Amino acid sequence: MKNLSTLQKEASLNIIYQADIHWISYVQPIAFIIFGFVGVIGHILKIFILFSIFFAFLFIKGITHFLQNKNTFIYVYHKHLTFSTGILGKTIIDISLDKTEGIKVFQNVLGRILNFGTLTITTGDVTYSYKIKDPIGLRNAIMEQTKKIAITG
């Protein structure tokens, strides 16, 4: 029986498009880590105890979100889209491209300038949303594969 890493290595040979999490997604976690670190220092020095507990929570939340972003991968294969994420555990979500009902790309002015946006994919009741680099490129790759599936059946 093959393990998850072996399956991922085999699947990596068939990747058509790989989307990356944009650096802007790291700004908030890094800010949380910095403010949280100040709170942790305040707690160690016994200054502002009530605030330091809140800032320590921010520190932990920032580290968690940073690692979550760092370990998120989005791939387009011939017939499906894969979201892989997780810090200690691993969650892999495969979405069949022929089951995709809608794709929404949102880019504000800053997103258009820095080439990032939010891609939302809807499949029935489930919705997936990620801030990624080059969302139009991912959308085009998904649409192209969806057309190929429709033609070949």
Its pTM stands at: 0.74
Domains of the chain: 75-152 (2.30.29)
Q: Are 99 and 123 in contact (CB under 8 A)?
A: yes
Spell out the alpha helix ranges (H) of the chain.
Answer: 4-11, 27-44, 49-70, 109-114, 135-152
Q: What is the pLDDT of residues 22-31, one digit of tens each?
A: 898 899 999 9
CA atoms lying within 13 Å on the CB side of residue 47 = 6
| pLDDT tens digit sequence for 80-126 | 888 888 888 888 888 888 878 888 899 999 999 999 999 888 887 77
DSSP state of 72: -
Rounded Cα gap, residues 118 and 133, in angstroms: 9
